[in-house]
Structure 1
């Protein structure tokens, strides 16, 4: 909450008064209504350290829920207000500038590698709830061979998969672990490409 308050101060805005829930770990969820016709994605740490947003494809634990860490409770019991314009603008700017990864720019990337890259990123973005982590793992394993063969740079593949995973609601830590595991597995099994 301190980081969000600092963000509000830096941008010259008051902290919005809206439905607010205290989480079991002592954090807060602020609820807003989305602008009509807008499909915002999920973010993790993009607005500031420990500030995550959940929208299309994301979820939060509802107030009244009890976990091993404690209960989720409403602390400001008012209806959610519309997402403030200044916050909407920041989310849209981040979403449009980072929401889509460019295809690989490596001169070594074959059209096959580029097509594979685009197909796997698309499959992660379209993964239904309950299959997102498994889809991310399959994508990492599929793309790892292109890294092993020198067709794609690992850092670009990792970044694209990380963004796609976070955009569908996976946590940053979970995404990073799944991607690392899938890429390492695939690279170890593919080695150098043999000449035809």
Structure 2
């Protein structure tokens, strides 16, 4: 059970930020940290065109808690009425409409994946990250920037951080940084244990107390700084910009090899060709068979010493993932292909 003082502190913080910063705030459930309420009419209405933008309850502006975060408000009278009605010690800010973006850095005790960054190789001389704070610091360094704590920052009960930045309203998508089941590479979001919250997202405000504990403001400032250029670039590169024109398909991965001898050059060319063809294949066009045939051919070259087996496995797996094959299927096909290596061709006659 939270104390009245804790309840009052959380509501006061939300009210101050709404009045002085223009942030759209709302109360959350103490146990679940989810938005409260939702009017009966909206819950029963189930019409596809019944959106927050067309909801009559929200249009009234009198504090109806409909459509989750879209009920958030800057109206001090509504906020005071919510505080008196709900007596919750957990309040949040709706980021997208408030012109904010939050970088949520987690500290879960999970083992890191082999490649913790989306679209960037982890530096060979860096130890694996311990948590999202490590991942984010490395991403900043690789991007030519710094993390910086001179922005509105909240310490979470789990030991993580919420970094709030000023951003163009409703421009950025949210994401979760974690590998897919069976994969060892992060391919969504920015990186491992880095969550981005923006468009329809929210974060708990400092002064709040949930079942997990107290959220404390750790920054000396209550003003979020503008989004760092390096972070905006990283968000754009990883598909977070809602205003960017969608690409038909990301560029296919191309293995980079340093081949000196004739056989090595032949094998490198064969690998590049196989990866380029496989990466562009669509579903139901024989991707599995292509991967198997390419693996058996290159397995023979690896057995002959023309190319390194790990290089072949890594490049073919990346091309297969680009084509949309599941990680477990890729592993099985690669193992099968290396179990049946083909004899190397006579490249003297080919020359």
Structure-2-length-normalised TM-score: 0.30
Which protein is richer in helix relative to its size? 1
The structure whose RCO (Cα within 8 Å, separation 6+) is larger is 1
Structure-1-length-normalised TM-score: 0.50
